[in-house]
Structure 1
């Protein structure tokens, strides 16, 4: 008899009998080729073997792996083209309308329009047509200005009236802005004409390819215009203002008449450079006398402290004015603003002020902003003809100016 209490567990004793070829459980084996064999086991009701031990029978079936069907190749789709500027603008406008709650009904039921450039026409006095037949004489150079038989003068007929707002107090300070060099560059000329208020006076260079058309367009927009006449500087010809420059010791009147014939409708003349020419009385006096005899005014740009124009003008019966400031075209925007602030202070102190500038992008932008805000600050923007002192010839001889 086996001592099961004293014999170590699993050592000695009889091995339990098992049915031949049978175990206590059936092992389910799964083997596959190419990684895909499925095994399904279905158990049947348990049976009793010859040795009295229960056993079960399992059926093993091999299942074919599913066939892999490759998807057809996808044709590449070209990316949609980016929206045009007009489409972006239209979408933005439609979005603004949706958020604002404002329903816009368009003719024909169209969508939001693309970008539109809208020019707001300024209300104000219309300028007299030019040329006025009374105020021109035909010469070999072209049409020259003159005083009409009825006494009408170009500086009066072609001038823009000083249209002062009723919102300004009586005796409000006045500022005149003269922007020169218009006509040399078509793009900049258009900017000056369209962006600057109509009360700004424009000085046209005589060399533009379409200077007559530029003059007409400027006047149609309400701008009074001047002839920007080139005059001899001290370093001529190193610095050469251009053909027919008025020079000391030359036929200045002949050159003046050629310059005057380039276009019509101007109220007067303003110098371009000319430090040497304006400092020599013998050269300057006959030119100023001719300007006065033709019913024009003269503006000195104030750049040369030696200019004799202010002192000679009163003795010649010439309506004239001298600029108080020149806006530096090379200055930064904030520096230009500072110069304009000084101009405003000068106008408040003296009752009026004149500034000259060049038609360059930065200058045009700052002048436009400054000029359009003057009325709100109690200052009138006027054309330069409104600030040119008038002198009668009879009184000029007595040295009395109006």
Structure 2
């Protein structure tokens, strides 16, 4: 009996036909391995025999040489310096011309290309007005205002008074303060472009480039105020911003915060509270602030946040120039309501001899103010900056 499959020697099965030589079966893994090997050979060959210092990085080739016989346009960005024969002496470049060296990455050759500067002969713009260093005191927060050694007061040095005729001195005066300058970019731009110089600008301490805004305002003859955030009744649900003066803090803490706020920019004639309905009713909290403002030669403007404010009383005791806002012009920010508020402001000025209106630097508000300002003086009023309304301190 023949042995079974378990006991039969290996390789003795004669019934199976041997595979034909030259026709092995090739699977997908072998094909992938071959493709990868071929790719590696191609890369190595490219690196060895192709002259490409940029390693295949995408590039654009731009000619910097003018065509033969073509004139070089010095104003064109692609203009290049024409080649100079060895016997020629190059002419000196025009004033303001800059020379840039271009290096060819493949050959290493260098070429000098002249870039024309401003040849219009126009005088560079003069720098905007900066604060007088004699009126600055250095603190840990930065420079803040002070009365100069010669008695010069910032409220006078930075004031932009109007020259009034004899007849104009006896007619009602109106002061307009546009606040939150620097917060709305479009409103701020409109205010600078469309409002007359007699309109005063109040700048919040949190805007961008506020030092430049203040300098520009003064260079365009606007008086500038610093808006100081003070505690409202619903604080902290209604938070004016960082470093807000609080009735719960000590006087030293509030003065330190005040000096931080004062150091944000310079060149202002005085301070005006931003919010602060609670703070301005507390003599204990507001008193030290008003004393510090007075000793620095500034004015103080009460924005009318509270009918119970003691700011006017404290200003009188400190011989501090003081003004108070009579009406917020854009409390309802529609054209109709702003026009009505301006009419009420005129009535107050006619009855009292002067009035102060407060508005925000928003495009719609600025547009109504600009139109009103063109006609208000024809109705028997004179538009003046805030220092011409603030009550002057008593002479000592």
State the TM bucket, normalised to the shorter chain.
0.5 to 0.7
Whichever of the two has the greater Rg, that structure is: 1
In the TM superposition, what whole-angstrom CA distance separates every residue of 1:213-250 from its partner, at most 9, and x where no partner exists?
11111112211100011100011010000000011122
Q: Number of residue pairs matched?
A: 266
The answer to whether the aligner puts 1:254 opposite 2:242 as a matched pair is no
Distance 1:347 1:382 in 2: 12
Alignment partner of 1:309 is 2:308: no
Partner of 2:277: 275
Aligned equivalent of 2:371, options 366, 369, 372: 369
Contact 1:329–1:360, Cα closer than 8 Å, also in 2: no
Q: Which residue number corresponds to residue 53 of structure 1?
A: none
In the alignment, the residues of structure 2 paired with residue 130 and residue 306 of structure 1 have an alpha-carbon distance, to the nearest angstrom, of 37
Classify the secondary structure of the residue corresponding to 2:265.
coil
Q: Can you list the C-alpha shifts for 1:242-266, whole angstroms capped at 9, x where unaligned?
A: 0000111221101100000000000
Q: Secondary structure at the match of 1:194?
A: helix
d(CA) in 2 for partners of 1:169, 1:207: 38
**For 2:225 and 2:257, how far apart are their aligned partners in 1?**
17
The question of whether the paired residues in 2 share the 8 Å contact of 1:232 and 1:245 is answered with yes
Map 1:314-353 to 2 at 5 A.
Answer: 314-353=316-355
Tell me what 1:73 maps to.
Answer: none
Residues of 1 paired with 2:331 and 2:371: CA distance? 16
Aligned residue for 1:131?
131
> Cα distance, 1:170 vs. partner?
4.8
State the partner residue of 2:357: 355
2:222 corresponds to = 223
Query: Equivalences for 1:20-99 in 2 at 5 Å?
Result: none
Q: Distance in 2 between matches of 1:356 and 1:235?
A: 22
Distance in 1, matches of 2:318 and 2:305, equals 22
CA distance in 1 between counterparts of 2:213 and 2:267 reads 11
Larger deviation, residues 233-242 vs 247-256: 247-256
What CA deviation, in whole Å up to 9, does each residue of 1:173-209 have, x standing for no partner? 1100011000122222121122111100000000012
Structure 1 runs of 4+ off > 3 angstroms? Answer: none
C-alpha separation between the residues in 1 aligned to 2:140 and 2:267?
19
Q: Please give the per-residue CA displacement for 1:12-53, whole angstroms capped at 9, x wherever unaligned.
A: xxxxxxxxxxxxxxxxxxxxxxxxxxxxxxxxxxxxxxxxxx
User: Does the 8 Å CA contact 2:272/2:303 hold for their aligned counterparts?
Assistant: yes
Q: Which runs of 5+ in 2 are unaligned?
A: 1-127
Matches within 5 A, 1:168-179: 169-179=168-178
Quote how far apart the aligned CAs of 1:344 are.
0.7
Match of 2:146 in 1: 146
> Could you say what secondary structure the match of 1:388 adopts?
coil
CA distance in structure 2 between the partners assigned to 1:163 and 1:289 by the alignment: 31
SS in 2 for 1:389: coil
1:191 and 2:193 equivalent? no
**1:180 aligns to what?**
179
Q: Which runs of 5+ in 1 are unaligned?
A: 1-127, 395-402
- State the distance in 1 between where 2:229 and 2:246 align: 9
Look up the SS of the partner of 2:183 in the other structure.
coil
SS in 2 for 1:272: strand
Contact 2:335 2:368 (8 Å CA) reproduced: yes
Inter-partner Cα distance in structure 2 for 1:169 and 1:203: 26
Equivalent residue number for residue 297 of structure 1: 299
- Tell me which residue corresponds to 2:64: none
How far residue 330 of structure 1 moved from its aligned partner, in angstroms, is 2.9
Contact 1:141 1:257 in 2 (8 A): yes
- Offset, 1:164: 2.6
CA distance 1:249–1:169, change in 2 (3 Å): closer
Aligned-pair CA distance for 1:153: 0.2
Partner residue of 1:160? 160
- Matched position secondary structure for 1:263: coil
For 2:387, what is the secondary structure of its paired residue?
A: helix
Moved more, 209-218 or 184-193: 184-193
User: How many Å separate the matches in 2 of 1:305 and 1:313?
Assistant: 16
